[in-house]
């Protein structure tokens, strides 16, 4: 099986929805990341991911936070709210999704108990 295919085919969809809901419902006192989208980033979710999380692998998180569901969509310049690293890890575990390939084994997250 290819390392990029999930045994749980719905995990990415569930993760995307959880991230989107988290950001939409974030309160002013929540410790979310506020990131100013730069002109060179409006067409590149991987670049935003690299600058925020230190890896390009979190592009799906970035897209969910911006409300984009296609790679062809562009980001609007302005402030993007994203989950911090701890919040992101929690959302991944709740959904059973892992975006970083080195944290995956046999089509599922290494931390998965299934």
Number of C-beta neighbours around residue 13 at 10 A: 12
What is this structure's pTM?
A: 0.86
Would you state the pLDDT for residue 5?
A: 57
What integer is the mean pLDDT of 6-12? Answer: 77
Domain ranges of the chain: 28-100
CB 90, CB 22: distance < 8 Å: no
What integer is the mean pLDDT of 86-111? Answer: 81
Would you state the pLDDT for residue 113?
A: 66
Tell me: the pLDDT tens digits for 13-62? 999 999 999 999 998 888 999 999 999 999 999 999 999 999 999 999 99
Q: Which two tokens stand for residue 42?
A: 């409006």
Number of C-beta neighbours around residue 21 at 10 A: 12
pLDDT(2) > 60: no
Higher pLDDT, 46 or 96: 46
Helix axes 85-95, 11-24, angle to 10 degrees: 140
H-only helix segments in the chain: 11-24, 45-53, 59-66, 85-95
Taking all residues of the chain, what is their mean pLDDT, rounded to a whole number? 87
């Amino acid at each position: 099986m290819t390392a990029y295919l999930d045994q749980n085919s719905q995990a990415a969809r569930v993760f995307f929805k959880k991230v989107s809901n988290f950001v939409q419902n974030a309160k002013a006192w929540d410790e979310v990341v506020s990131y100013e989208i730069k002109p060179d980033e409006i067409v590149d979710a991987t670049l935003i991911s690299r600058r925020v999380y230190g890896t390009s692998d979190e592009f799906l998180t970035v897209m969910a936070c911006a409300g984009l569901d296609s790679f062809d969509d562009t980001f609007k310049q302005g402030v993007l709210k994203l989950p911090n690293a701890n919040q992101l890890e929690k959302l991944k575990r709740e959904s059973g999704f892992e975006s970083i390939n080195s944290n995956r084994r046999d089509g599922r997250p290494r931390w998965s108990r299934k």
